[in-house]
A and B are shown apart, each in its own frame.
Chain A
Amino acid sequence: MSNHVHKDYAGAKLGMWLFLFTEVLLFGGMFVLYSAYFHEYPREFHIGGKQLDVVIGTLNTVVLLLSSFSIAAAITYIQQGKKKLALIYTYLTIGAAFIFLVNKTIEWRAKFHHGIWPDSPHLRELSHGENIFFGLYFLMTGLHALHVIIGMVVLSVMVYFLKKDVINQQDFVKLENAGLYWHIVDLIWIFLFPLFYLVL
């Protein structure tokens, strides 16, 4: 009967923003835990932070910031109707996400190598505060990495949509929303980085 498809740009954006709120709150719960335990074990958190690799952390921060730029560029290009460039910059974003994950793996592997993983015998010998610090480190960066993976999947779907012209110069809200999602992944990392790598 009805072939009419309603397109509501502002509605789609509003929905996405609400969803991003929920993502922030999801991590918010973990940040609450972090602050409570930081309050309880400030010294141990400091010691723990020293053992993380600031170089890799910084590198990953830069990678994510660049990826935020590249997805923004992709959106701008599709708005200008430059499909090819939009595609390239979306690929670049996915590539950055991949580099981030490679770094993360190297970093985690190094920790495992030092006998540090959740509930490891070595951790059990360390102080309570350090155990909690590394516990939070693995859980929070792990949850974040999971979001990076989800982001990669979402962006790959966007590539598909771009190729199929589902996303085009007139109708690009999907890519915009994917971009917003990617910015949130970036933003959360911007908070995680100082909390874990630079603990005072």
Chain B
Amino acid sequence: MSNSTLSFWEETGNGRTGIMGWLTSTDHKRIGLMYLYILLAMFIVGVFLGLAIRLELIAPGRTIMDAQTYNTVFTLHGVIMIFIVVIPSIPAAIGNLVLPIQLGAEDVAFPRLNLFSWYLYVGGTLLALVSLFTGGGTPDTGWTFYVPFSEFTTTNVSVAVIAVFILGFSSILTGLNFITTIHRLRAPDMTWTKIPLFTWSLYATGWIQVLATPVLGITVLLIFAERVLGVGLFDPNKGGDPILYQHLFWIYSHPAVYIMILPAMGVVSDIIPVFARKPIFGYKTIAFSSLMIAFAGSLVWAHHMFTSGMSDTAVLIFSLLTFIVAIPSAIKVFNWTATLYKGSISVEPPLLYALGFIFLFSVGGLTGLILGSAGTDIHVHDTYFVVSHFHYVIFGGTGFGLFAAMHFWLPKYYGRMYDKTLSKVAFYILFVGFNLLYFPLFIIGLQGMPRRYYDYLPQYQDGHIISTVGSWVLALGLAIMFYNLIKGCLKGEKVNGRNPWGAATLEWTTPTPPPLLNFDREPDTSRKPYDFKGVTPDE
């Protein structure tokens, strides 16, 4: 290993050291880590709120909080998890760490814009926190800010929606930066069919970020305007139409689901072949299906509104389109399975989390079909079936994808390895806890337990008890996982060599940890990203 280059930990490139070296750094690796730290901290806050929700629901009637507090807690839980944690999670944090190196570039196309996006993200997050403690109290509308309630509630919705606007802006700029980077900064010879699938997935994601997020921006601005000016665009008393709000909201928020899930799929596509030691099955199909998901996923928003009043034709069309989006996702699952088939599999922690992703995402995806067909949706709409479905997709999908990514890539950036046995233990606890927590919700949802209700009939209690117990098991798993990762990054055994997993993408050809400008020699782009011939893990 050449020691002529310092790692990005030691070399800031802007002449500053210490905390200022970080806060003014335009190095994509530092920015990625700064995203990661904040969003993980916010994730933990969100988990505590989730645990509080579960505790409240362990028994009918009041348990630990009153009804209004409950409303604010689930709103906060949703806003934090969706806008602050999950949307930036893999793209902004892991994407920043990995994408330029996978392309053989020294940084992203607009490094200063990248830092600016991070500041917007921090600003949006702080403002969201401000909305808790100021004005008329914590927002209680749910993360969807549905009108007319969000126009008239006395809680601090105005500040919260501005926070969401700023977070959205940050997301747009990250997407824009990544798209430009992928177009302009690929190493010579890094053709489109040599781009690793994780970066491909970020490319598709980038387009959704750029094309869908502005619609969210205008939607939340309109809520703000409505609250301040009382125009009445969504208020039936003044000629407005609340359904139009729902359309605008979901035109963003459905595609946003793919901002959350596509990058996780990319992570899994990069991890599976490494631990099966086989080229990925159907590289082009996987890359192309990401674009298909991005495209088709933008056309299905109204499946959230089957019960809001739409023409039968519209319902039919949106139902059909929704089914069509399932196809590219299913293609990916088949490709991953085919890659694993007859591979020489080594069950390392990143693979375990990736497998967890495939299982949980499949459960979430299949139950999505039940929601996508109008007939069955009308039965389960706004019940716990939906809550369970989206936790399987978003937490089981994006969450586990993020965990997989952290286990896979962090050793590269910290130069240290966590305790592999402990991380497997954490995984199994997490996995069991997850299913205990969310599976019963499918059942009580089918039985008719509505979501966002503080109280319920005694017949649903068994399901809620199992679920609450599951939430503690899950939290235990998370605690062990984080403990292990943090300890590993700080004090773990040093990683020997550049390529601990024996992967073939470019980030594994750089020193561990990488130097400021990523490479200490010309990146070798002759090799395909999943061609493992002659690549062995450095012991």
User: A residues engaging B (CB < 8 A)?
Assistant: 1-2, 6, 8, 10-11, 14-15, 18-19, 21-23, 25-30, 32-33, 36-37, 40-41, 118-119, 124, 127-129, 131-132, 135-136, 138-139, 143
Given A1-B516, A18-B210, A25 and B240 contact (CB-CB distance below 8 Å):
no
The residue in chain B whose Cβ has the minimal distance to the Cβ of A127 is: B239
Q: A11-B110, A26-B217 are in contact. List 16 more A-B contacts (CB 8 A).
A: A8-B109, A11-B109, A11-B180, A11-B185, A19-B176, A22-B213, A23-B214, A26-B214, A29-B251, A33-B233, A33-B248, A118-B229, A118-B230, A127-B239, A135-B240, A138-B229
The residue in chain A whose Cβ has the minimal distance to the Cβ of B6 is: A1
Q: In this complex, which of A10, A22, A41, A138 has the most chain B Cβ atoms within 10 angstroms of its Cβ? A: A22
Asked if A15 contacts B218 (CB within 8 A), the reply is: no
Q: How far is the CA of A11 from the CA of B233 in the complex (A)?
A: 40
Can you give 15 A-B contacts (C-beta < 8 A)? A11-B109, A11-B185, A26-B215, A26-B218, A29-B214, A29-B251, A36-B244, A37-B241, A118-B229, A128-B239, A132-B238, A135-B231, A135-B233, A136-B233, A139-B222
Asked if A132 contacts B240 (CB within 8 A), the reply is: yes
Q: How far is the CB of A7 from chain B (nearest CB, A)?
A: 11
Q: How far is the CA of A21 from the CA of B222 in the complex (A)?
A: 20
**Interface presence of B127 (CB below 8 A):** no
A-B CB pair tally, cutoff 8 Å: 108
Q: Mark B183-198, 1 if CB is under 8 A from A, else 0.
A: 1110000000000000
Asked if B184 contacts A128 (CB within 8 A), the reply is: no
Given A132-B232, A132-B233, A21 and B211 contact (CB-CB distance below 8 Å):
yes
* Chain A residues positioned under 8 Å from B211 (CB to CB): 21-22, 25
* Chain A residues positioned under 8 Å from B248 (CB to CB): 29, 32-33
Asked if A29 contacts B231 (CB within 8 A), the reply is: no
Given A18-B176, A36-B244, A11 and B231 contact (CB-CB distance below 8 Å):
no
Given A1-B13, A2-B517, A128-B239, A118 and B231 contact (CB-CB distance below 8 Å):
yes
* Chain B residues positioned under 8 Å from A132 (CB to CB): 232-233, 238-240
The number of chain B residues with a CB under 8 A from chain A is 40
**Interface presence of B291 (CB below 8 A):** no
Given A8-B184, A22-B213, A15 and B176 contact (CB-CB distance below 8 Å):
yes
Asked if A139 contacts B225 (CB within 8 A), the reply is: yes
Asked if A131 contacts B110 (CB within 8 A), the reply is: no
Asked if B180 contacts A15 (CB within 8 A), the reply is: yes
Q: Mark B491-519, 1 if CB is under 8 A from A, else 0.
A: 00000000000000000000000001100
* Chain B residues positioned under 8 Å from A143 (CB to CB): 221
Specify the main secondary structure of chain A where it touches its partner.
Answer: helix
Which 9 pairs between the two chains have the least Cβ-Cβ distance?
A128-B239, A119-B230, A29-B218, A135-B231, A25-B214, A11-B184, A118-B229, A26-B214, A22-B214
* Chain B residues positioned under 8 Å from A135 (CB to CB): 231-233, 238, 240
* Chain B residues positioned under 8 Å from A10 (CB to CB): 184
Q: How far is the CA of A1 from the CA of B12 in the complex (A)?
A: 9
Asked if B210 contacts A41 (CB within 8 A), the reply is: no
Asked if B241 contacts A36 (CB within 8 A), the reply is: yes
The residue in chain A whose Cβ has the minimal distance to the Cβ of B213 is: A22
The residue in chain B whose Cβ has the minimal distance to the Cβ of A32 is: B248
Q: How far is the CA of A18 from the CA of B244 in the complex (A)?
A: 27
**Interface presence of B179 (CB below 8 A):** yes
Q: How far is the CB of A154 from chain B (nearest CB, A)?
A: 15
Given A2-B517, A118-B229, A29 and B180 contact (CB-CB distance below 8 Å):
no
Asked if A129 contacts B230 (CB within 8 A), the reply is: no
User: Which B residues from 158 to 180 make CB contacts under 8 A with A?
Assistant: 172, 176-177, 179-180
* Chain A residues positioned under 8 Å from B218 (CB to CB): 26-30
Q: How far is the CB of A176 from chain B (nearest CB, A)?
A: 16
The residue in chain A whose Cβ has the minimal distance to the Cβ of B169 is: A22
* Chain B residues positioned under 8 Å from A26 (CB to CB): 214-215, 217-218
